[in-house]
Structure 1
Amino acid sequence: MKNYKLNSENLSYISERITVPQYDRTTIKTGIVHVGIGGFHRSHEAFYTDQLLEDPDNKDWGICGIALLDFDSRIYNTLNEQDGLYTLIVKELDGRHTNRIIGSIVEYLYAPENPIAVIEKMASPEVKIISLTITEGGYNYNEATKAFDFNNPLIQHDLEFPNAPKTIFGYITQALKLRQSRGLKGVTVQSCDNIQGNGHMTKTMVLSYVGKAEPGLVDWIESNVSFPNAMVDRITPATAPLDIVNLIKTDGVHDAWPVVCEPFKQWVIEDDFIAGRPAWETVGAQFVDNVEPYEKMKLSLLNAGHSVLGILGALIGYNTIDQSVSNPNIATFLHNYMDVEVTPTLGDLEGIDLGNYKTSLLERFGNINIKDQIDRICSESSAKFPIFILPTINAQLEDKGDITNAAFVVAAWAIYSLGKDEKGNTLIIKDAMQPVLSAKALESTKNPEAFLEIDAVFGSLKDSKPFVEAYTTAYNAILKHGVEQCVFDLNANI
Structure 2
Amino acid sequence: MPRLRQNRKRQEMTVKLSRANLDKLPEKVGRPSYDRAALKPGIVHFGVGNFHRSHQAVYLDDLFNAGLGHDWAIVGAGVFDGEKVGRERLEEQDWLTTVVEQDSGRMAARVTSVMTDFLMPGDGEAIVEQLADPAIRIVSLTITEGGYFIDPASGKFNPTHPAIVADAQDIGDPKTVFGLILAGLLRRRDDGIGPFTVMSCDNIPHNGHVTSDGVVGLARLIDEDIADWVEEHVAFPNGMVDRITPATTDRERAMLAKDFGVEDNWPVFCEPFKQWVLEDRFTDGRPPLEKVGVQFVRDVAPFELMKIRILNGGHATIAYPAGLMDIHFVHEAMQEPLVRGFLEKLEREEIIPTVPPVPGTDLGDYFKLIDQRFSNPKIGDTVRRLCLDGSNRQPKFIIPTIADRLSAGKGIDGLALESALWCRYCFGTTDSGAVIEPNDPNWDRLQATAKAAKGDAAAWLAMEDIYGDVGKSRVFAEAFVKALAALWSGGTRNTLSRYIGATA
Output the TM-score relative to the length of structure 1: 0.97
Q: Which whole-Å CA distance do the structure 2 matches of 1:376 and 1:361 have between them?
A: 17
Q: Which whole-Å CA distance do the structure 1 matches of 2:242 and 2:451 have between them?
A: 35
**SS of aligned partner of 1:325:** helix
Residue 373 of structure 2 corresponds to residue 370 of structure 1: no
List per-residue Cα deviations over 1:321-352 (Å, max 9, x = no partner): 11111111211111111111112211222311
Choose from 382, 385, 399 the match for 1:390: 399
Alignment of 1:104-253 (within 5 A): 104-112=114-122, 114-253=123-262
Matched with 1:52 is 63
**SS of aligned partner of 1:211:** helix
Q: Is this contact kept in 2: 1:148–1:209, CA < 8 A?
A: no
List per-residue Cα deviations over 1:104-158 (Å, max 9, x = no partner): 111111222x211111112211111111111111111113344322343322332
**SS of aligned partner of 1:68:** coil
Q: Which whole-Å CA distance do the structure 2 matches of 1:438 and 1:401 have between them?
A: 30
Q: Which whole-Å CA distance do the structure 2 matches of 1:368 and 1:126 have between them?
A: 43
Choose from 461, 471, 484 the match for 1:475: 484
| More displaced 10-residue stretch of structure 1: 292-301 or 119-128 | 119-128
Choose from 340, 346, 362 the match for 1:331: 340
Residue 57 of structure 2 corresponds to residue 39 of structure 1: no
Matched with 2:297 is 288
Q: Which whole-Å CA distance do the structure 2 matches of 1:17 and 1:321 have between them?
A: 28
Number of positions where the alignment pairs a residue of Structure 1 with one of Structure 2: 492
Residue 430 of structure 2 corresponds to residue 421 of structure 1: yes
List per-residue Cα deviations over 1:265-309 (Å, max 9, x = no partner): 110111111211111111111111111111100000101111111
Shift of residue 177, structure 1, vs aligned partner: 0.8
Q: Which whole-Å CA distance do the structure 2 matches of 1:162 and 1:427 have between them?
A: 41
Match for 1:417: what amino acid?
C
Residue 99 of structure 2 corresponds to residue 88 of structure 1: yes
Matched with 2:3 is none
Q: Is this contact kept in 2: 1:375–1:429, CA < 8 A?
A: no
Q: Which whole-Å CA distance do the structure 2 matches of 1:39 and 1:274 have between them?
A: 27
**SS of aligned partner of 2:446:** helix
Match for 1:103: what amino acid?
S
Q: Is this contact kept in 2: 1:403–1:470, CA < 8 A?
A: yes
**SS of aligned partner of 2:377:** coil
Q: Which whole-Å CA distance do the structure 2 matches of 1:250 and 1:194 have between them?
A: 31
Q: Is this contact kept in 2: 1:67–1:75, CA < 8 A?
A: no
Match for 2:502: what amino acid?
N
Q: Is this contact kept in 1: 2:318–2:342, CA < 8 A?
A: no
Matched with 1:69 is 80
Q: Is this contact kept in 2: 1:345–1:395, CA < 8 A?
A: yes
Change (3 A) 1:80 1:209: same
**SS of aligned partner of 2:435:** coil
Q: Which whole-Å CA distance do the structure 1 matches of 2:352 and 2:344 have between them?
A: 11
Shift of residue 216, structure 1, vs aligned partner: 3.0
Gaps of 5+ in 2: 1-11
Match for 1:481: what amino acid?
G
**SS of aligned partner of 2:194:** coil
**SS of aligned partner of 1:421:** coil
Q: Is this contact kept in 1: 2:197–2:283, CA < 8 A?
A: yes
Q: Is this contact kept in 1: 2:330–2:383, CA < 8 A?
A: yes
Choose from 407, 410, 422 the match for 2:416: 407
Choose from 99, 117, 121 the match for 2:109: 99
Matched with 1:25 is 36
List per-residue Cα deviations over 1:218-264 (Å, max 9, x = no partner): 12212221011111110001112122112222332110110000011
Residue 326 of structure 2 corresponds to residue 314 of structure 1: no
Shift of residue 214, structure 1, vs aligned partner: 4.1
List per-residue Cα deviations over 1:23-58 (Å, max 9, x = no partner): 010110111111111100000000000111123341
Q: Is this contact kept in 1: 2:152–2:466, CA < 8 A?
A: yes
Match for 1:453: what amino acid?
A
**SS of aligned partner of 1:287:** strand
**SS of aligned partner of 1:427:** coil
Task: Name segments (4+ residues, structure 1) moved above 4 Å.
Answer: none
**SS of aligned partner of 1:70:** coil
Gaps of 5+ in 1: none
Matched with 2:358 is 349
Change (3 A) 1:224 1:15: farther
Residue 56 of structure 2 corresponds to residue 9 of structure 1: no
Matched with 1:268 is 277
Q: Which whole-Å CA distance do the structure 1 matches of 2:477 and 2:280 have between them?
A: 41
Q: Which whole-Å CA distance do the structure 2 matches of 1:345 and 1:54 have between them?
A: 40
Q: Which whole-Å CA distance do the structure 2 matches of 1:387 and 1:77 have between them?
A: 33
Q: Which whole-Å CA distance do the structure 2 matches of 1:303 and 1:264 have between them?
A: 15
Q: Which whole-Å CA distance do the structure 2 matches of 1:80 and 1:440 have between them?
A: 43
Matched with 2:459 is 450
Q: Which whole-Å CA distance do the structure 2 matches of 1:31 and 1:164 have between them?
A: 24
**SS of aligned partner of 1:226:** coil
Q: Is this contact kept in 1: 2:388–2:439, CA < 8 A?
A: yes
